[in-house]
């Protein structure tokens, strides 16, 4: 538990990345076709110099042709959350729903002195012990994980292009990640390896006033930890409530116009259902919807944010109320487990309050947040991505919190435009077959029946019906 073996390793990058980026820099102004320019770039002595010149002049798209895959080993969940908010990258994360995390360890700040380290570790060890106790008591991993602190070790893969990697590194060096030693350590490791692959760019990483990573964006030293005298609990029925903030005023007119532009021989959509048989329903992308999602857990946020095609606002974890927790039904219905859960969270609440009085421990308060803490987020998603989101997240195999959120979103959408959103639902409802193979719930006919428009009110009334 007490070994910081965090590592960011560049495990893959595209062949001839330097030459490809240099070719991209030349193609607009150089004679010859794309292949000829690339062949010349293989032996060109000024590739690095050219990339540096083009990049420094603001033409950064040329380095998007260099692609990296990074394996992040034993980093904290806080780091994971920091990275996965990057919209233009791909992530695959070790699941807390299926993997036992009781012995995977947690991050310990290296500057803690003996007494501070002892206090920090007592807090973490207490939570890991309680997590194991819940597992031993028969609580599912997906519910026991709510006790995991955001210091726990996460492992994941991240694939992204060089421009987006620089954006993340800039956010660490000069934006919301500055002042966080763990992130600085990882940035050092990544930059050292990336410079070997693309030295013309990563050798001169610096603050860019044109991006969102402004200096002093994260004021960790002056942050006040939000913690109350007593822990308060949010029920699954209260968690993840949905409010539709904005919807197109004339969605069918927009769809008809988009369809006529895409099909010049038609004045309107012959049947909205045709959009769901189209392999490229770009018309749906013209409809944008904004939602406020209240009291969603930190675990729930990870299920939402992994959908890349959305604009999402997630408050800084420094702003979380450490005293508000989810109380899942599997724990609430077991008197012994519920007592343990509530005692542990009351103790965690008291310890967080005590640690926040110490300036050294206070600056690491983001590690004290628990996966079961709740916060409000906002997102704007187009109808095509909503179709994908709802197909996956209303499925019976989805985690119960994200399923409830998805069902409530579907209810809002059906109320807003029933003619369109009556076609939305889980994969079996939309496609007429279960896409889960051997993992099917075995109740496809009932699920399809439940999500028919006439059943919409029942769907919204109780997400538990579909658990």
Q: Under DSSP, is residue 363 helix (H, G, I), strand (E, B) or coil? A: coil
Q: Are 256 and 270 in contact (CB under 8 A)?
A: no
Residue 215: what pLDDT?
46
Tell me how far apart the alpha carbons of residues 228 and 231 are, in angstroms, rounded to a whole number: 7
pLDDT at 442 over 90: no
pLDDT reported for residue 216: 46
Burial 369-397 (b: 16+ CB within 10 A, else e): bbbbbbbebbbebbbbbbbebbbbbbbbe
* Backbone φ and ψ of 247, nearest 5°: -145, 150
CA distance 162 to 63: 6
Nearest to 20 by CA among 36, 42, 3: 42
User: What beta strand segments (E) does 114-273 contain?
Assistant: 153-161, 232-234, 241-246
Nearest-angstrom CA–CA distance, 109 and 117: 8
Q: What was the pLDDT predicted at 457?
A: 45
Give 13-35 pLDDT, tens digit per residue. Answer: 999 999 999 999 999 889 999 99
Collapsed DSSP state (helix, strand, coil) of residue 277 = coil
Q: Is 436 exposed, middle or buried (0-12, 13-18, 19+ CB in 10 A)?
A: middle
According to DSSP, the β-strands at 324-326 and 7-13 are: unpaired
Rounded distance, CA 166 to CA 191, Å?
A: 9
- Averaged pLDDT score across all residues of the chain: 89
**Residue 410 burial (C-beta neighbours within 10 Å; 0-12, 13-18, 19+):** buried
Cα 141 from Cα 132, distance rounded (Å): 10
Residue 205: per-residue pLDDT: 67
Please give the model's pTM, rounded to 2 decimal places: 0.89
The structure tokens 């709802």 sit at 390
pLDDT value for 462: 36
Please compute the mean of the pLDDT values over residues 35-58 and round it to a whole number. Answer: 88
Residue 25 Cα distances to 30, 57, 59, 64, angstroms: 9, 12, 9, 11
Say what the pLDDT of residue 123 is.
97
């Amino acid at each position: 538990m007490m070994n910081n073996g965090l590592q960011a390793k560049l495990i893959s990058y595209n062949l001839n990345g330097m030459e490809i980026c240099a070719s991209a820099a030349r193609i607009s102004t150089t004679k010859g076709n794309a292949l000829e320019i690339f062949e010349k770039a293989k032996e060109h002595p000024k590739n690095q110099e050219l990339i540096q010149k083009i990049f420094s002049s603001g033409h950064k798209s040329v380095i998007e042709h260099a692609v990296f895959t990074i394996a992040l080993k034993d980093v904290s969940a806080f780091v994971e959350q920091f990275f996965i908010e990057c919209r233009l990258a791909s992530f695959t994360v070790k699941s807390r729903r299926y993997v036992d995390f009781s012995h995977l360890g947690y991050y310990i700040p290296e500057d803690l002195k003996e007494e501070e380290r002892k206090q920090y570790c007592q807090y973490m060890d207490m939570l890991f012990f309680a997590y194991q106790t819940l597992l031993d008591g028969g609580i599912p991993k997906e519910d026991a994980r709510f006790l995991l602190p955001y210091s726990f070790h996460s492992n994941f893969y991240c694939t992204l292009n060089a421009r987006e990697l620089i954006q993340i590194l800039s956010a660490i060096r000069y934006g919301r990640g500055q002042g966080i030693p763990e992130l600085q350590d990882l940035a050092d490791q990544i930059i050292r390896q990336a410079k070997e692959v693309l030295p013309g760019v990563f050798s001169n990483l610096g603050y860019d006033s044109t991006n969102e990573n402004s200096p002093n964006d994260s004021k960790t030293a002056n942050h006040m930890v939000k913690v109350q005298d007593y822990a308060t609990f949010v029920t699954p029925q209260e968690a993840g409530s949905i409010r539709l903030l904005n919807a197109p005023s004339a969605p069918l007119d927009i769809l008809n116009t988009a369809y006529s532009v895409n099909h010049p021989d038609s004045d309107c959509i012959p049947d909205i259902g045709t959009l769901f048989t189209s392999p490229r329903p770009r018309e749906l992308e013209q409809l944008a919807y904004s939602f406020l999602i209240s009291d969603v857990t930190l675990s729930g946020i990870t299920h939402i944010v992994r959908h890349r095609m959305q604009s999402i606002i997630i408050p800084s974890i420094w702003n979380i109320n450490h005293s508000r927790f989810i109380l899942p039904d599997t724990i609430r219905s077991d008197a012994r487990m519920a007592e343990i859960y509530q005692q542990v969270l009351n103790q965690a609440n008291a310890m967080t309050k005590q640690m926040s009085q110490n300036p050294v421990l206070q600056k690491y308060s983001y590690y004290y947040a628990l996966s079961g803490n709740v916060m409000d987020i906002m997102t704007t998603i187009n109808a095509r991505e909503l179709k994908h989101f709802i197909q996956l997240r209303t499925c019976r195999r989805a985690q119960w919190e994200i399923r409830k959120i998805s069902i409530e979103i579907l209810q809002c959408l059906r109320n807003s435009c029933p003619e369109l959103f009556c076609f939305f639902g889980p994969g079996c409802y939309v496609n007429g077959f279960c896409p889960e193979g051997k993992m099917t719930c075995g109740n496809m006919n009932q699920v399809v029946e439940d999500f028919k428009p006439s059943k919409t009110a029942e769907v919204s009334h109780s997400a538990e019906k579909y658990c």
